A and B are shown apart, each in its own frame.
Chain A
Amino acid sequence: MGWIGETVDSIKSIKIRQLLTQAVTLGMIVTSALIIWKAMMCVTGTESPVVVVLSGSMEPAFQRGDILFLRMTKDPIRTGEIVVFKIDGRDIPIVHRVIEVHERKTTGKVDVLTKGDNNDVDDIGLYADGQMWLHRHHIMGRAVGFLPYVGWVTIIMTEKPIIKYLLIGAMGLLVITSKD
């Protein structure tokens, strides 16, 4: 019966106020990260202001593991711009360069053809069946800047999810056991 008494004592000794403060602090940290992310989405005009390069199709400029900063403005799409687009029905964004543009006089709509710098052929093979051109609504943003190597963290966490769980577990443990 002694150990039940000990357990009850140790539960009573957890200061409720301190625990609540720690929970609120954790909540504040998470929500401020979310606020920063949403603010970046507003400033850059695109759903994903930062993307990680996943393939080698734009080498040697962009290697796998680099991150790209994106921006989307109302400016018309012109050749040479590096754009990030998603094909209907597929989740993965692709980062390639625009090599052909045809802009309609009457509607202002554009037909766009893209190609990866390191690929031999243009992207027609990547588009959906029967699709010959990309249109503005496929394009999520233009690449305006880049940082090398930083994206490897995301790639490792996506491809080996165990590391993601380990990291989050370790961080959670640190928060709970820290005495201040």
Chain B
Amino acid sequence: MHSFGYRANALLTFAVTILAFICAIASFSDNFSNQAPSAQIQILNINWFQKQPHGNDEVSLTMNITADLQSLFTWNTKQVFAFVAAEYETSKNTLNQVSLWDAIIPEKEEANFWIQISNKYRFIDQGHNLRGKDFNLTLHWHVMPKTGKMFADKIVMSGYRLPNAYR
């Protein structure tokens, strides 16, 4: 019972168990952080709005995105992944969500930002339902921890509308 092998085995098992326990506690502590993020999105311009050769509508727009996500960062946060998605309903689909822009925020200092940008990903419908369409813009965030459970949530901003005719 006192050989090197047994001692090394006991030490290793204990070390791994303690490490797992610490990771679990670090993750659990994330539940106690107060999160109060805020965001605003303004559509500055509809750059163009066309029907593609295959029949699907496509829009290009320029947005002004302001957000303060600093309160999402805890000591166990590795990065926050933020993205903006357009949500709307059509006659065929109850829900369409199209991601327009995303960013990786690695540090708390960079989480209070203002950016003016045209959509990073193409906003293409399944069909040609977008004329005069009301849609929501949601800012989602995904908090990725150094260890443990990931958290995600969103802010929904409604009241946006696409033009009634192609441009």
Contacts and interface: CB of A to CB of B under 8 A. Distances in A.
B74 interface: no
A97 B121 CA distance: 14
A45 interface: no
Given A79-B85, A80-B142, A143 B97 contact: no
Interface in B87-110: 91-99, 102, 104, 106
Interface stretch (A34-42, A46-54, A103-111, A160-168): A103-111
Given A78-B97, A146-B147, A60 B140 contact: no
Interface stretch (B35-43, B65-73, B75-83, B159-167): B75-83
Of the four ranges (under 10, 10 to 19, 20 to 34, 35 or more), the interface on chain B belongs to: 20 to 34
Nearest to B93: A102
Given A80-B85, A117-B104, A60 B94 contact: no
B121 A146 contact: no
Given A79-B140, A101-B95, A60 B78 contact: yes
A76 B94 CA distance: 12
A169 B99 CA distance: 51
B119 to A, nearest CB: 12
Given A60-B104, A79-B99, A117-B81, A102 B147 contact: no
A146 B148 contact: yes
Contacts of B78: 60-61
A56 interface: no
Nearest to A59: B104
Nearest to A149: B147
Give the interface residue-count category, chain A.
Answer: 20 to 34
Contacts of B15: none
Contacts of A60: 78-79, 104, 106
B145 A146 contact: yes
A128 interface: no
B92 A61 contact: no
B27 interface: yes
Contact of B81 (A61, A101, A147): A61
A117 B93 CA distance: 27
B33 interface: no
Contacts of A146: 144-145, 147-148, 150
B51 interface: no
A80 B83 contact: yes
A148 B147 contact: yes
Given A102-B95, A103-B94, 5 more contacts: A79-B97, A79-B98, A82-B142, A102-B126, A105-B94
8 contacts: A99-B98, A100-B98, A101-B96, A102-B95, A111-B126, A117-B102, A145-B145, A145-B148
Interface of A: 60-61, 76, 78-82, 97, 99-105, 111, 117, 122, 143-148
